[in-house]
Amino acid sequence: MNFIFIEGLRLDVSVGIYSRERVAAQSVEFDLSFGLPEKAVQSDDIANTIDYAKVVECLRAEIGERHFNLLETLGEFVADLICNKFAAPWVRIRIAKPGALRGVRKVGICVQRGKPEDGE
């Protein structure tokens, strides 16, 4: 299966359970991989694939309007968005909060929906 990846996408997100996290958005890092429809590689036509620029634009708009208590909930939201709005047959998302804990470079979650056919 062919897939698109977007690595190191940084978005300011309102996420967290602590009062300090509810005051201001914080920088969150996303690594996304998602499968392409079969016709995407057969036609050489942007209309038959998933436009990664539109995915990023959509994430900025949708995530910017919400608060998430947990990274897990944010991950589920992003997975559902990519699968449902962009018809990706599978998606793998890593979301990290850099510097969330002293002495730890990043903490985060990984969400996967569907299964890559060729073991990506």
Question: Which pairs with CB-CB distance under 8 Å and at least 24 residues apart come from 53-56?
Answer: 54/86, 55/4, 55/6, 55/82, 55/86, 56/6, 56/9
Main-chain phi, psi angles of 50, to 5 degrees: -105, 120
Q: Is 97 one of the annotated active-site residues of the chain?
A: yes
Torsion of CA 78, 80, 85, 89, to 10 degrees: 110
Pick the catalytic residue from 54, 85, 97, 106.
Answer: 97
Nearest to 97 by CA among 22, 10, 24: 10
Q: Are strands 67-68 and 3-15 parallel, antiparallel or unpaired?
A: parallel
Sequence letter at residue 21: E
**Residues noted as catalytic:** 97
